[in-house]
Amino acid sequence: MNGGGHGESASVWASGRLGWFVALSLAVLHVIRSPTAGVSRPLTGTSRQKNTDGAFVLMVDLKFKTSDAAKELLKEWTKVADWCRRNEPELYHYEISQSDKDELRYGIVERYRSKDDYFQHKTSAAFTQFRPKMQALQDAGQLEVTGSSYFELGHGFVPSHARKA
């Protein structure tokens, strides 16, 4: 029926209802899969505790020449990150991100309890297997790496569910 008959409005109603159902299902899955699922937290932001100073932070910028080089390193980096998650409790944050403006630019943020913990990380079996692969891409001109390191000053916050004791 053309012109807004009952069949057309029922179809619009059904597709709208389906959209809400899909959105609700995704939201519920997000909460269920969240690492803090089932943890009671206030909604006011009081769950965000002030940082203590001294954590060591490394920020690394990666600029690839090709998407194949990026995929190659990302595959290897994921292996190291998985190993670190299981074996380095003093490594608070270890994440790679892709630029929203340049698909060949990535950033890595590493946050350690101390600079000594960072040096320990660099001697791990997983990292010592990974680093030559990254260096090979650099030597081949497929990857440019820059970065900086910092000590946290304790003036900010990290959500309590993201902190390590």
| 137-162 confidence digits (pLDDT tens) | 999 999 999 999 999 998 888 766 55
Q: In what order do the strands lie in the sheet with 105-112?
A: 91-98, 105-112, 56-64, 143-151
Judge residue 121's burial from the number of C-beta atoms within 10 Å of its C-beta, 0-12 exposed, 13-18 middle, 19 or more buried: buried
126 with 80: CB under 8 angstroms?
yes
| 92-110 confidence digits (pLDDT tens) | 999 999 999 999 999 999 9
Domain annotation covers residue 43: no
Between the CA atoms of 136, 131, 80 and 50, what dihedral angle is there, to the nearest 10 degrees?
Answer: -130
The number of distinct structural domains making up the chain is 2
Residue-range definition of the domain harbouring residue 60? 52-162
Q: What is the pLDDT of residue 34?
A: 44
Closest to 94 in 3D by CA, of 120, 83, 48: 83
| 117-129 confidence digits (pLDDT tens) | 999 999 999 999 9
Q: What is the pLDDT of residue 157?
A: 81
pLDDT level of residue 52 (50, 70, 90 thresholds): low
Please report, for the domain that includes residue 131, its CATH number: 3.30.70.100
| Distance from chain centroid for Cα 89 | 17
The reply to whether 119 and 90 lie within a common domain is yes
The reply to whether 93 and 16 lie within a common domain is no
To which H or E segment does residue 110 belong?
Answer: strand 105-112
% of the chain at pLDDT higher than 70 = 64
Predicted TM-score (pTM) of the model is 0.67
